[in-house]
Structure formats: structure tokens, C-alpha cells
Structure 1
Amino acid sequence: MVNSGLQTDLREEAARLGFATCGFAPATPDPHRVARLEEFLGAGRHGSMQWMEDRKVQRASPQGLWPEAMSVIALGMSYAPDVDPLALDEAPEKARISVYAHGRDYHDVVKKALKALARWLIAREPDSELKVFVDTAPVMEKPLGEAAGIGWQGKHTNLVSREHGSWLFLGAIYSTLDFAPDEPHADRCGNCRACQDACPTDAFPRPYQLDARRCISYLTIEHKGPIPEEFRTALGNRIYGCDDCLAVCPWNKFADTAHRHLKLAPREELIAPDLAAFLQFDDAGFRQFFSGSPIKRIGRDRFVRNCLYAAGNSGSATLKPKVAVLCEDTDPTVAEAARWALMRLSACP
């Protein structure tokens, strides 16, 4: 077992690097985590995210991915917002972008800090080995974060922290060192069901279960092709992700932007952007505008598709000329979304 002094020093170094919270968990298999993953995949709730099914063995347990791992260092980096994520709900001509995408791509920021912490740890324990992960490998960051005591998986299935609310980017370091584990975090949701009631598409079959196929974040980011018509009106003006279930969580009253990493500050032009401007993007313009942003990953066509659904929901006849042009777009999904939006807007005075 690693001496406690190293763990104390590691927590302090993590804080110096911008992590708001740090905890330790064993890398051994956990039957409860495995059962929840099997249920999620067995019910098809992962939608088209086939990679979750393909690598479920590695995802189910840290040692399934890397047998030599002994411990997991779970880390959270705050991205607490300056503004109310629900503020644009009554502003249909504005585009709602999930808070996490208001700033720089978190993959780059978190991974840089993780690598710096990894270098520090190897310098202290040169005979050890480790691997760092941030949302790009078969790692169950949220249940591992709960096991490491940095928060608990709420009824919306996201990690919730008593100190930082729902606004944490999660990273993990798998290590061959045998760290003393922290106590798993207790569930603090109680009788609250605010997140369940806030979901515009009823994406929660039951508390603590998510059906990604109904989730606006999945539909606007991961889903390719036309979004099913049953969900289009519920999208409202959300063009990239959705914060509703996170934003209503009462624990967010403790979240403080003072703990937010400096490199995760929001871009002013993404806090309340005009929907009309986004409808004019070609591929080059899209890539230039969203350089360094996680939004760039979905590409121009999927992004404009989302903007067209929002335009159709806006009730703004002034958007009709821009929408009409896109009815002839070279991407068939964009063209179909434009026709749907134009049909909706044609009813506007």
C-alpha cells in the first residue's frame, strides 16, 4: 500500500494544476457497475454508440482495459457557469449551446493537466506505470468518480458534487500503485426529482437510468442523419447539447466559478448567439469559427441540421429566407431539416 503522504501530496498537486477534486478507488471489477452497464446496453439505450457495445469488457472494469492497474485516481475539473444555463429558454431566436461547450475543448485542457500530474507522479514513483484518460477511451468515469468519493451519480446519471454541483469535467489516471481507496460517496438525491421533471424528451425511464436515444445531448451531438420528428419540437432552440437536467439540480447552489479552471472561461460569442448567423455557415466558416471548440467535432452539416430544427421552432418569419436557401443544400439531411423548418415557419405571420 502506498504511504499516505504521497496521496496527500498528489491531491495538493492536482489542486495546483486546476483540478477541483481528487479521489482514489480500486481498479478491481465491481459487480454493481457491471450489472448497470449490461442493463443499459442490453436495453439498447446507447443508441448508435456502437463503440460502447464493442468495448464493453474494457469499459466494465479498469482491469478489463489494463490488467496491471491497481488503482484509479479520479479527478474533476470545474466548469461552473457564469450565467443561468436556462436563461435562453424564452429567447427562441437565440441558440442554446451546452455550458460545457462555451469555452475551449475540455479534452485538451483536462488531458494537459492529467499528463502534468502523471509526470509528477512518475517522478515520485519512477518504477510505477500509469495511463491517463479523458472521455476518449472505454472508461466509466462517473461510477468510478462515485467509487472514489468525489461525487455521486444522481438520478440523471451524471456525477454530482456537494461542492461543485453538476459542473465537473471528469478525468482518470489508472496506476499500478496500490493507493488507499477513499470511501464511496453516498447518494444525496433524496426524494428530489427535479432533473427527471425537467427533461424535455422524457429521457429517463426511471431514476438513475438514461435512454440516450431520447436525450437531446445524444440527438444533437452523437446522432447522425435526421432527428426523429417526435423530438424536433422538444429541441426548442437547443443546437448543441442540453443542460436542463443538470441546471435544475439543487446542489448547484454550491457551485462557484472561483473554482473553474482559467482555460475553461466561456467565449462571449457563444453564450447567447443569434441563430440566424449560424444558418449561414459553410464548412470552412464553421471550422474557423469553432476552432479549438468541442463543437467542431460534429461537423458543419450536423450543426446546421440542429440550427434548422431550432429555426423551425423559433416562430420567427425573418428566418425564412435563410432557411429556404438550405432546402437545396448538398447534404440531404440538412436539406430535409430545412424543408421541415420552412413548413413550420410558413405558418408564421
Structure 2
Amino acid sequence: MEARNQTAISEFLLLGLTEDPDLQPLIFSLFLVIYLVTVLGNMLIILAVISDSHLHTPMYFFLSNLSLNDICMSTTTVPNMLVNIQTRDRSISYTGCLAQIGLALVFGGLENCLLAVMAYDRYVAICHPLRYTVIMSTRLCVLLSLFSLGISIVYGLLHSLMILRLSFSSVVKIPHFFCELPQIIKLTCSDTSVDNIVIYVAAAIFCGVPVFGIMLSYTHIVSSVLRLSSSEGKYKAFSTCSSHLSVVFLFYGTGFGVYISSTVAASPQKTAVISAMYSVAPQLMNPFIYSLRNRDMKAVLWRLIARIVSVP
């Protein structure tokens, strides 16, 4: 089939997780519940941090940023999928697809950066406790958040502009429930050798550096904690990192699992199902991890929920 320039493409077709019509109501209900729980859980985290002065600390400031990012990440992909299932219209405009790719990369990159910033916050809290309030000032926290957002926007724009130069056939069917960069690259008619190099180099820089920062921070944390003589002090120090570590393992664990599974998956549809876990699982589980493993957050959330329920 002869390739046409990307400007001639008006829309793509999202095939979703399955083409079986009997499974569509089940998928719709499942993802609707996941989306609502994700938005509600992360919104409660944000409201809890805002409403309680005891949570006005750098750690909870970054946590509220992470929760807001998780809401945005889920909103980028899931609502469009739900509308497509409900209307039985699988089409998405070229502009909409490009925007979805860019936003997914921006919010994915921002989560990556925020996890690194939160690891640095834990490093300062444990390794330099006496200077914590001086180092982690409000100005630095805001600058770190803005810098993370700026880096993520550059990462998303880089790949979005890269897609603009690609050409596609007249009918493009994406075996996924949202426009994902690797799927788009596979479906293009253009030479993707340069694009693949850009993807790997960008991943090494924009994703590798935050991962290295997390590893470096926790190397210093473990080294500092092991030097403590009190077992109670060691437990307290590690407990302050447990929630963040759980989120880190969930985010990178699911991502690594998707990458490994996609290389051995028998069909693109199975790859889409596996990738769906990475797209929704971390955003869904993060509020539960921080609320269940953090006594201060749990107490504030219960008070907030009680206040909301008691309102006539």
C-alpha cells in the first residue's frame, strides 16, 4: 500500500484491548471503576495535604504533585477509551493521537522525575536531618517541581515533533486502547532508524538520570542507616522510605515487566493488555500505598473523609 504524507492522515483507529463485542461491557466497567478510584484516591491525597498544616512539608508537597500527575496521566488515556467503547467509534484524530502521545510522555516523564526528587528529599531527611529544613526550602521544592515539569515537557515535545516527520498508510490500525509511541513507530511507512536512536538516547538521558539519582540517594541512605547503633533508629529511618520505595518498585517494576513481556508476546493485542497494566496500575495503587503505609497520612485521610461525610 502506498504511503502518504502524515498531513493527509485525518484519523487513526484504536482497536482496544480486544475486538470481542461480548467483552466490551466488562472492559468498560472495569476501567471506569479503575479511573474513578484513581481520581478519587489521588484527589483525597491532595486535599489531605492542603487541609492539614502538619503535612505542609517537602515530602507531602512532592506527594501531592505526584498525585496530581497520576490524575492527569489516567485522564490522558482512560476517558477516551471509555468513550470509544460506549459510542462504538474506534477513531481518533491525527491531532488527538499526537496530543495523547505527547501528554502520556510528559506525565510519564514527570512521574519519573518526581520519584527521583522524592528520593533526594528522603536522602536529605535521613543523611542531613539537622539541615533538612534549610536545604529543602520552599523555594528549592518549587524549583525542583518546575524543573521536573520542564524536563518532561521537553521529553514529550521531542518525540511529538519526531512523529510529525513520519508518514503512514491510508488506514492506520493501532492495537491498543490509546496512542502509544512504540505502536506508532511500528506502524509508520517511513525509515525509523533515526527515530529508534532518538528514543533510546532520550530514554537513557531523561529516564536513566532519574533512575541513577534514585539509586545514588538510596545508596547513601542505606550507608547512613547502617551506621546507626540503635535498631529502633534504623527501623524508623527505613520506615520513612517504605512508601516511596514501594511506589518506585511498582512504577519501574511494571514498566520493566511490560518491556520484557512485549518482546515475547505472541500478538500486538496481548502486548496492549500487558501495557495496560503499566498505564493504570501505578496511578491506581499510589494513593493506597501512601495512605496504608503512612500513619500521618492515614490519620489525616480518616479525618478528611469523616468531615466530608458529615457535611449535610
TM-score interval (norm. to shorter)? under 0.3
- Higher relative contact order (Cα pairs below 8 Å, separated by 6+ residues): 2
Question: Could you tell me the TM-score, scaled by structure 1's length?
Answer: 0.25
Higher helix share: 2
Question: Could you tell me the TM-score, scaled by structure 2's length?
Answer: 0.27
